[in-house]
Amino acid sequence: MQAAQRVHYNQALEYSIEQANKAGIPVIVYFGLTDDFPEANARHFHFMIEGLIEVEKKLAERKIPLIVQHISPPEGVINLSNKARMVVVDRGYLNIERKWRSRAAQNISCPLIQIETNSVVPVETASPKEEYAAHTLRKKIADFRTEFLNDIPARKLKNLGLEKFADLSSIELTPVKKTVKNLNLNSSVKKTSHFKGGFTAAQDHLETFISDKLADYPEKSSDPSEDFLSHLSPYLHFGQISPVYIARKIKSSGKPGTDEFLEQLIVRRELSINFIYYNKNYDSSLQKILPEWAFSTLQEHKDDPREYLYNLSELEEAKTHNPYWNAAQKEMLITGKMHSYMRMYWGKKILEWSPSPQDAFEKALYLNNKYHLDGRDANAFAGVAWCFGKHDRAWQERDIFGKVRYMNSSGLERKFPMQKYISRVNKLS
C-alpha cells in the first residue's frame, strides 16, 4: 500500500483478500516510509501520517496487520516477498513511483500484480498515448466510465491466523506512531491546521460538498471570494479517498452540478494522469512537454521587456506589487491549498514576471510542490504546465505570452469581488 493509502474502496486490498482466501492464507499490508521523497516536507508528511494512523486502525478492525517500516518502499517489498505467495501493489504514475514498482518486480521471485486504484478509468485503458487536450480524451473515457464506476464491496478475510505460519513470526508489527519518530523530515514548511488527513476527514468534505455546494458548483466554483470547492484534492493526492467512491456519491445525489464536477474529477484529472504517464519529462523541460505552437510562441517572446521581475525569494514571501497574487500565495503558504481559479492566475503571473519561460516553469513547480498538500502529483504538474499552454489552444498574440492564454487583474475584478477574497485570506493568518 503506497499510492492508495486507504482501506475503504481500495481495489488492491480487496483483490489481495480475494486471492488470499483462494489460497487459504492471510494478508499483510506493508507501507514503506521514506523521508527523502523528492520535494516532500513536514507539511506533507504530517497530513499523510494522520491518514496512515487511520488506515492502521481500520485494518485492525478487519484483522489485517499493517507493517510500516522506515525504509525505501521497494526494498521493504523485496525483503518481505521472501515470505509471500504473491505481492499486490497499487499503481503510481510519477517517475519515482514507477521505478519503485519496477525494482520490486525485477527482484522478487513470487508474482507481482499491479492494481489501478486512483483513477476511474485505468490510464492505459483510456488511451494508449499522450492526449492533446480534454476534448480528445473525453470521448474515450466516456466509453468506459460506466464499466469502471462499479461498487467495490469490502471482502471478509477468511484466514486471520498469522501464528499458523512460522515464517511470519519474525516480522515486527511496529505501530505507525512509533515508526514515524525515526523520520528525519524536512521541516522548512510546517504542518497546516486547515486540513486533517485521512478518509474520515475526506468523507466529511465530500458530504459537506454534496449537501451545501454541489448545486451551486457550476456558477460559483470559479469565484475565489466564495468557498464552493470540494477540497478533496489533498485526499486524492495521497489516495486517502477513492475517485470511484466520490463519483458514485456525486452521481447518486442527483443534484445540479453533477456533470460539471465529474468533468473535473474524471476527464480533467485523468487527462493529467495521461500526461505524466506518457510524458516522462513532465517536471523538467517545457520544450519536451508543450505543444509545438505553445513552445514556439513563448520562445519568440522570451526576450520581450518585463515591467516587473521577481526572484524566487520575493515570490515565496508574497512580496510583489500585485495584491491578488500575494493573497493567493499567502493562502497556499497558510493552508496548503490555493483556490483553483487563483492557481491559474498565480501561474500566469509567474510567467509574466520571470526572465524566461523555463525559469518561470521551474519557479512555479518549486512553489507549487513545496507548499501545496496536493503538489507533486499528476494534477499539480499538468496544472502548472497548463499555465504555459499545455492542454490549451492558441489565443490572441501579445507580449511575453505570445499566443498562450493571458490573465490579468482587471479580468479578476470584472468577474469577482476580489477585495472580499483578500479579506478572506487575511483572516486566515
- Mean pLDDT, residues 246-258 taken together: 97
Provide the percentage of residues in the chain whose pLDDT is more than 70.
Answer: 98
Strand partners, 68: 31
- Mean pLDDT, residues 290-300 taken together: 98
Q: Looking at per-residue confidence, does 362 or 183 come out higher? A: 362
The DSSP string of 137-169 is: HHHHHHTTHHHH----PPPPPS---GGG-GGGT
**Confidence bin at 35 (pLDDT 50/70/90):** confident
Report the mean per-residue pLDDT for the chain.
95
CB proximity list for 212: less than 8 A, separation 6 or greater? none
SS3 content of the chain, % helix, strand, coil (to 5): 55, 5, 45
- Mean pLDDT, residues 209-230 taken together: 97
- Mean pLDDT, residues 196-204 taken together: 98
pLDDT of residue 181: 85
pLDDT of residue 166: 62
| Domains defined for the chain, CATH in brackets | 1-117 (3.40.50.620), 119-151+199-278 (1.25.40.80), 281-428 (1.10.579.10)
Question: Which of 171-175, 266-270, 315-319 is the least confident region?
Answer: 171-175
pLDDT of residue 172: 76
pLDDT of residue 177: 87
pLDDT(242) > 90: yes
Sign of torsion over alpha carbons 276, 281, 282, 287: negative
CB proximity list for 279: less than 8 A, separation 6 or greater? 130, 288, 289
pLDDT(123) > 80: yes
Nearest by Cα to 365 from 303, 298, 276, 300: 276
d(C-alpha 140, C-alpha 123), whole Å: 11
Pair 167, 161: CB distance under 8 Å: no
